[in-house]
Amino acid sequence: MRPLRAAVLVLLTAAAGLLPTVAALRMNASAGDAATYAASLRTPVLTPTADDGAATGPSALPLLRAERAPGALWRAAQEHHIGTEMTAFSSDWPEPHCLAISIDGTEVFSSNPDSVIPASVQKLITAAAALAVADPDERLVTQVLTDAEIVDGTLDGTVWVVGGGDPLIMTQSYADSHRRQPQLRTPVEDLADELLGLGIETLRGNLIADESRYDTTRFPETWPQRYITQLNSGPLSALNLNDGITGFTTTLSAAEHPARWFVSTLADLLRVRGVSVDVEIDVSVAPSGMSEIARLTSPPLVEIIQQMLRESDNTTAELMLREIGLRSAGQGTTPAGAAAAERIVSDLLPDQSRPAVVDGSGLDRQNMVTCGFLVALLDHFGTESELAAGLPVAARTGTLSHRFAEHPAAGRLYAKTGLLRGVNALAGFIETDSGTVTFAQMLNGVPPDGRVGLDLQESLVGQLLRYPVGDVTALRGLARGSA
């Protein structure tokens, strides 16, 4: 055992001496220069010996040649260059701010370890938690239940419409009113058509909305009144239609009782289809033992989550947070969902600072997270993930469809946007000519007027398109080969 212990001591001593030298490697060295430089770092050869101590066979490669640690060399080179460059580049950004960068999953820069306000970039956390608690292919179901029978085309009794939390149930006219098309939706007209297909010609009795899947707090209680007045999100309900928005042609107006409005609209759709409808409308919980006569199914949950990211849909985000709370803690509430989402993503990244989750959309200014956490979260899922597939694409889709049109990042930047008063944020992936850059930039304290935040985002993206830097392709190839 003594020769082995001696070898280990030599290894540790040599490794300690190698680290400061590796950190000094400059990024502008060519691959050949890097190899020559690496050769100068060789340590004495540890030649294999027989049990009696005699050397056996030809001299082996040195165990501690720098070429045996190409990953460390590459990382040190990137960190040295990018750290110097990005520290200077971000020195005059508004405070507080943070920036984190990784290349091909390896962190190469991080500034400001403190949490800042993420704005809508918070939806990355909501998406990650939702994907963790639900089957991506699952669909949310809105049910129509009754204990009555259809007799000679007449359904005379009580009918319940039970909300399943689908945030994308829309009329065609509401979907058409959105600027970006087409809109992913669950057509409420399909539910009316299915009821018509049962042979119903007359509907009498009671038409009752059941929104008991979630609580009936219409907006997160921590939000300021201006968010509600401005309708940054519609009123929340497990039986949701048109984001709870009743008027949208000239100015927005919201339903005071979203679930009641849902069934009232359903009754109107039946009338348009020639059904005689004479019902009392109410809201209550459906009793057990009812028979399902119709259902409306959502798109797959993964598509709903991707729509939330792509369009930065606040209503979808808040309803998804309540679904997270229901599945994780048995409570379809904002506080339960926030606590669950915070725990879920923290468990995914135990080495990162825990974020503060207050709502699902990022509208609440009490949400706090570090740039390092967001980059680690994005890298945890990766560029081929369902989460990444939902990110807006520069000059192509979602909230980035109108940005970077004349920029080299067009079609190469996939990122979640964030905007609040005084806050600009951007986090995602950039496919460069020589690697994938993951980044998160959050600027707090941005002047409320003008394009300061947006301009800083665009200049950062332009800078990141240059990374990885230096002629280190061969060295990085060695790093991958040794993994």
* Residue 234 lies in domain: 136-303
Mean predicted confidence (pLDDT) in 40-47:
32
Q: Are 239 and 210 in contact (CB under 8 A)?
A: yes
Residues 6+ apart with CB under 8 A from 250: none
* 94 and 216 belong to one structural domain: no
* 11 and 93 belong to one structural domain: no
Q: Are 130 and 324 in contact (CB under 8 A)?
A: yes
* 316 and 456 belong to one structural domain: yes
User: How many C-beta neighbours within 10 Å does residue 459 have?
Assistant: 11
Flag whether 29 is in a domain. Answer: yes
Q: What is the pLDDT of residues 169-199, one digit of tens each?
A: 999 999 999 999 999 999 999 999 999 999 9
Flag whether 312 is in a domain. Answer: yes
Residue 49 DSSP symbol: B
Distance between CA atoms of residues 336 and 357, nearest Å: 11
Q: Which residues pair with 203 in a beta bridge?
A: 155, 277
Flag whether 482 is in a domain. Answer: no
Q: Tell me the CATH number at 226.
A: 3.50.80.20
Q: Are 412 and 329 in contact (CB under 8 A)?
A: no
* 152 and 227 belong to one structural domain: yes
Question: Among residues 68, 93, 112, which one ends one of the domains?
Answer: 68
CA 164 to chain centroid: 22
Distance between CA atoms of residues 120 and 168, nearest Å: 19
* 265 and 289 belong to one structural domain: yes
Q: What is the pLDDT of residues 322-344, one digit of tens each?
A: 999 999 999 999 999 999 999 99
The amino acid sitting at 47 is: T
* 145 and 236 belong to one structural domain: yes
Question: What is residue 30's predicted lDDT score, i.e. its pLDDT?
Answer: 36
CA 339 to chain centroid: 17
Q: Are 123 and 308 in contact (CB under 8 A)?
A: yes
Question: Among residues 255, 283, 303, which one ends one of the domains?
Answer: 303
Distance between CA atoms of residues 374 and 118, nearest Å: 10
Whether the predicted pLDDT of 37 surpasses 90: no
Residue 35 DSSP symbol: H
419, containing H or E segment: strand 413-420
Please state the domain count of the chain: 3
Mean predicted confidence (pLDDT) in 283-301:
97
Q: Which residues pair with 442 in a beta bridge?
A: 98, 425
* 118 and 151 belong to one structural domain: no
Q: Which residues pair with 146 in a beta bridge?
A: 159, 291
**Of residues 338, 298, 319, 339, the one with CA closest to residue 233:** 319
Task: Output the CA–CA distances (angstroms, integers) from residue 225 to 231, 233, 424, in the order listed.
Answer: 10, 12, 22
User: How many residues can be counted in the chain?
Assistant: 483
Question: Among residues 284, 303, 322, which one ends one of the domains?
Answer: 303
Q: Tell me the CATH number at 119.
A: 3.40.710.10
Distance between CA atoms of residues 1 and 479, nearest Å: 32
Q: What is the pLDDT of residues 410-466, one digit of tens each?
A: 999 999 999 999 999 999 999 998 889 999 999 999 998 889 999 999 999 999 998
Flag whether 149 is in a domain. Answer: yes
* 360 and 459 belong to one structural domain: yes
